[in-house]
């Protein structure tokens, strides 16, 4: 029995695994005791992550659409026809009519190569699924402290006096991290959760601020004003290391604790208790999709302000922590953006740097985000790599209609997903166990996945598919060797330049970027003048209707393509959870069949009355496929991130028709 080390393909913790392989078949896996973060822990999903690779319905050879039927074709024919059609579309409509978009389970090398190939074709229409989750985090962090990533580590949580968690339930989304929450409480540290719902994590908290959706900015501004007015902020830290305090303190004065109670629904004494809790050191400020998919970068900036005011950045046991939801969403967001080159701003200087390495000058015109592309563009050809937007995107019917309208849709995926069913060409790609390459965790740790088995049938690794397509397009410089791509990538992406393959392949040692220190910003921030920036944001008018919030279930994962092919995991019931008062007002009882409607669409679900749901809100799991028929395609104007957790809906009981 052979043993191979790898990284779990699910959430952004990036747990270390050991795969047991016999005769090219992965028999089982178990957690790696040496991994620097997971430390021998594993969740239920991770413990069965190898099973989908053995699924009976793996795609085994390329498929081509002929009228309404998918038929088998050869790799040579498929790639040649795709290349010919891409060149024809570029000639007819220009390179801006073409886009390349990837999921966040792809390796760094795959995402980098996809992005490079798009730019070699002359388009900056490149993006990843990081757009729909944490681009608001990356945007705010980059602007305020200089790097769009976590500034500390989950391993620092036990050293904190307090951990603030906004819009995230680790018990459902990142269960392996609960070990660190338990250690924190054992060390007499406190947990403060800000979330409209009483989640499993909120039940562990010492303080739960049950805020109304869309009111986080007012809450954070009121707390900031309280800290300044009561001299509870770190004056020396702010004077020495932070810009913009005078203007910020002036603008924040109109935000009061009293008004915060009315707007957020949180009692004044709880807000004050929270303010005093975070005024000490060290404190970690952490957040998830409940913040980014409601208030966008404005809400993230308002939370970062509190960490800067209290001096809780750049010291042990403190900092800014982002809960990333996929195994390489951090790395995908680092490398693949339509308005930024992987080596810096979209400017002639950075373009010429790339030309020296790539052998071609990339285009300078800003591209379309994946949400702009799929929710209202006139693009003609799209290549998707391990991405299932026909299920995962809001306003699903609109996305499906757009994908059907394309002259060319190419999907690389191990399975016939809902998106693949709409494609002109489906190219079978390898599972995570059948290839190698690196991924970046939410901790900024870059680790290597080692290949454990060969792909079945005619399945190819993504790097080989991309390099073969580049050959057909007569483009040079595209390697299928992940180690060679890694070396080029870290030459281009300067934030990764400190890493070596030896470090990345050793699970027992940290290999963090842009430096190996667990805690960033000890002496200076990565801004032009070395100082952080306070950024005041105004609270927009909150929505007043019934608000649909979506979230994760611990037994499910995103669009469920892998989980649905894992023995032992049952189908998630199509349920929507209501507060008792809302249910009574609407005449709905437990288990009633209800119609949930928004301006974008509707779904039929079973009602469940739950004390965990805040009055004025309803909750549904994001994995219920019909829910994105209801979630609207309202995008944050700055980052184009959908507001998945902030859709106004109406609910009505479906009367018995029999």
Look at the domain 546-653 and name its fold.
Barwin-like endoglucanases (2.40.40)
405 token code pair: 């309208």
What's residue 572's pLDDT? 80
Residue 658 pLDDT > 70: no
H-only helix segments in 230-369: 235-241, 245-251, 257-264, 268-278, 289-309, 329-335, 348-358
Mean residue pLDDT of the chain comes to 96
What's residue 89's pLDDT? 98
Residue 202 pLDDT > 90: yes
What's residue 230's pLDDT? 98
Q: Are strands 575-578 and 602-609 parallel, antiparallel or unpaired?
A: parallel
**Average pLDDT of the residues in 274-281:** 98
**Average pLDDT of the residues in 188-212:** 98
Q: For the segment 112-149, what is each residue's pLDDT rounded down to a tens digit? A: 999 999 999 999 999 999 999 999 999 999 999 999 99
Residue 508 pLDDT > 90: no
Residue 168 pLDDT > 90: yes
* pTM recorded for the entire structure: 0.97
Distance between start and end Cα atoms, the chain: 59
Burial class (CB in 10 A: 0-12, 13-18, 19+), 483: middle
Range with lowest mean pLDDT among 305-309, 531-535, 559-563: 559-563
Which of 151, 234, 272, 202 minimizes the C-alpha distance to 514?
151
Q: Where in the chain is the domain with CATH 2.20.25.90?
A: 2-54
CATH architecture of 2-54: Single Sheet (2.20)
For residues 631 and 394, give the distance between their C-alpha atoms in angstroms, rounded to a whole number. 5
Q: In what order do the strands lie in the sheet with 25-31?
A: 2-7, 16-22, 25-31
Burial class (CB in 10 A: 0-12, 13-18, 19+), 359: exposed
Which of 117, 81, 129, 118 minimizes the C-alpha distance to 96?
118
For residues 584 and 351, give the distance between their C-alpha atoms in angstroms, rounded to a whole number. 61
Burial class (CB in 10 A: 0-12, 13-18, 19+), 91: exposed
H or E segment and range at residue 617:
strand 617-621
**Inter-residue contact 412 to 387 (CB < 8 Å):** no
What's residue 657's pLDDT? 55
In the numeric block, the tokens 């922590």 are attached to: 321
**Inter-residue contact 98 to 82 (CB < 8 Å):** no
**Inter-residue contact 110 to 483 (CB < 8 Å):** no
For residue 426, count other CB atoms closer than 10 A to its CB.
Answer: 27
For residues 124 and 494, give the distance between their C-alpha atoms in angstroms, rounded to a whole number. 20
Residue 571 pLDDT > 80: no
**Average pLDDT of the residues in 291-316:** 98
For residues 305 and 353, give the distance between their C-alpha atoms in angstroms, rounded to a whole number. 35
Peptide bond preceding 479 in cis form (omega within 30 of 0): no
63 token code pair: 């498929």
What's residue 569's pLDDT? 79
In the numeric block, the tokens 């191990």 are attached to: 414
Q: For the segment 450-460, what is each residue's pLDDT rounded down to a tens digit? A: 999 999 999 99
Q: Where in the chain is the domain with CATH 3.40.228.10?
A: 135-323+521-533
**Average pLDDT of the residues in 427-447:** 97
Task: Give the phi and the psi of residue 308 in degrees, each rounded to 5.
Answer: -70, -40
The helix/strand/coil state of 27 is: strand
**Average pLDDT of the residues in 533-555:** 96
| b/e sequence 262-294, b meaning 16+ C-beta within 10 Å | ebbbbeeebbbebbebbbebbbbbbbbbbbbbb
CATH architecture of 135-323+521-533: 3-Layer(aba) Sandwich (3.40)
What's residue 604's pLDDT? 97
Q: Where in the chain is the domain with CATH 2.40.40.20?
A: 546-653
**Inter-residue contact 82 to 472 (CB < 8 Å):** yes
Peptide bond preceding 272 in cis form (omega within 30 of 0): no
For residues 117 and 335, give the distance between their C-alpha atoms in angstroms, rounded to a whole number. 13
* DSSP symbol at 460: B
Q: Where in the chain is the domain with CATH 3.40.50.740?
A: 63-132+328-504
Q: For the segment 394-416, what is each residue's pLDDT rounded down to a tens digit? A: 999 999 999 999 999 999 999 99
280 token code pair: 């000490």
Percent of residues, the chain, with pLDDT higher than 90? 95
Q: For the segment 458-484, what is each residue's pLDDT rounded down to a tens digit? A: 999 999 999 999 999 999 999 999 999
Residue 567 pLDDT > 90: no
Residue 1 pLDDT > 90: no
**Inter-residue contact 430 to 459 (CB < 8 Å):** yes
Look at the domain 63-132+328-504 and name its fold.
Rossmann fold (3.40.50)
Which of 598, 594, 610, 609 minimizes the C-alpha distance to 652?
594
Q: What is the separation of C-alpha 470 from the centre of its chain, rounded to a whole number of angstroms? A: 28
Q: For the segment 337-391, what is each residue's pLDDT rounded down to a tens digit? A: 999 999 999 999 999 999 999 999 999 999 999 999 999 899 999 999 999 999 9
What's residue 655's pLDDT? 82
């Amino acid at each position: 029995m052979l043993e191979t080390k790898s990284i779990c393909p699910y959430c952004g913790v990036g747990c270390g695994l050991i795969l047991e392989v016999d005769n090219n078949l992965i028999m089982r896996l178990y957690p790696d005791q040496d991994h620097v973060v997971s430390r021998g822990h594993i969740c239920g999903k991770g413990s069965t992550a190898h099973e989908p690779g053995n699924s009976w319905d793996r795609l085994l050879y390329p498929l081509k659409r002929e009228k309404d039927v998918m038929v088998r074709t050869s790799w040579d024919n498929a790639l040649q026809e795709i290349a010919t059609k891409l060149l024809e579309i570029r000639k007819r409509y220009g390179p801006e009519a073409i886009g390349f978009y990837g999921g966040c389970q792809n390796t760094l090398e795959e995402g980098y190569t996809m992005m490079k190939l798009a730019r070699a074709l002359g388009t900056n229409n490149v993006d990843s699924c990081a757009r729909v989750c944490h681009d608001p985090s990356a945007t705010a962090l980059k602007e305020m402290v200089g790097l769009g990533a976590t500034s500390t580590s989950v391993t620092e949580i036990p050293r904190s006096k307090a951990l603030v968690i906004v819009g995230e339930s680790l018990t459902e989304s990142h269960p392996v991290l609960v070990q660190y929450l338990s250690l924190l409480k054992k060390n007499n540290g406190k947990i403060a959760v800000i979330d409209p719902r009483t989640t499993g994590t909120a039940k562990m908290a010492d303080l739960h601020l049950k805020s109304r959706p869309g009111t986080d900015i007012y809450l954070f501004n009121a707390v900031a004003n309280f800290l300044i007015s009561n001299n509870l902020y770190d004056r020396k830290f702010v004077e020495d290391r932070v810009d913009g305090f005078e203007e910020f303190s002036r603008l924040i004065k109109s935000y009061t604790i009293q008004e915060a109670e009315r707007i957020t629904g949180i009692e004044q004494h709880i807000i004050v208790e929270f303010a005093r809790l975070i005024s000490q050191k060290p404190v970690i400020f952490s957040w998830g999709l409940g913040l980014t998919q409601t208030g966008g970068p404005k809400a993230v900036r308002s939370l970062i302000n509190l960490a800067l005011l209290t001096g809780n950045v750049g010291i042990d046991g403190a900092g800014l922590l982002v809960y990333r939801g996929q195994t390489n969403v951090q790395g995908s967001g680092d490398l693949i953006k339509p308005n930024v080159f992987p080596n810096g701003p979209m400017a002639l200087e950075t373009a010429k740097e790339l030309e020296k390495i790539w052998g071609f000058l990339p285009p300078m015109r800003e591209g379309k985000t994946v949400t702009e592309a799929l929710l209202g563009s006139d693009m003609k050809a799209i290549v998707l790599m391990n991405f299932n937007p026909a299920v995962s995107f809001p306003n699903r019917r609109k996305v499906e209609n757009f994908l059907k309208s394309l002259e060319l849709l190419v999907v690389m995926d191990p399975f016939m997903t809902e998106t693949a069913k709409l494609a002109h060409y489906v190219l079978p790609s390898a599972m995570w166990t059948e290839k190698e390459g690196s991924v970046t965790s939410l901790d900024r740790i870059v680790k290597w996945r080692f290949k454990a088995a060969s792909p079945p049938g005619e399945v190819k690794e993504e790097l080989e598919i991309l390099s073969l397509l580049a050959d057909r397009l007569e483009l040079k410089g595209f390697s299928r060797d992940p180690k060679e791509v890694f070396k080029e990538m870290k030459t281009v992406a300067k934030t990764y330049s400190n890493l070596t393959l030896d470090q990345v392949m050793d699970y027992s040692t940290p290999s963090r970027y842009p430096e190996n220190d667990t805690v960033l910003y000890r002496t200076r921030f990565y801004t032009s003048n070395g100082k952080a920036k306070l950024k005041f944001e105004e609270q927009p008018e909150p929505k007043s209707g019934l608000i649909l919030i979506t979230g994760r279930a611990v037994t499910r994962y995103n669009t469920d393509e892998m989980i649905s092919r894992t023995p032992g995991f049952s189908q998630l019931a199509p349920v929507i959870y209501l507060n008792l008062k809302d249910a009574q007002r609407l005449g709905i009882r437990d288990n009633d069949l209800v119609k949930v409607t928004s301006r974008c669409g509707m779904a039929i679900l079973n009602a469940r009355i739950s004390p965990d749901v805040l009055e004025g809100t309803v909750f549904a799991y994001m994995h219920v496929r019909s829910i994105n028929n209801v979630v609207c395609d309202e995008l944050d104007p700055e980052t184009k991130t959908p507001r998945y957790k902030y859709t106004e809906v109406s609910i009505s009981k479906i009367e018995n028709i029999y």
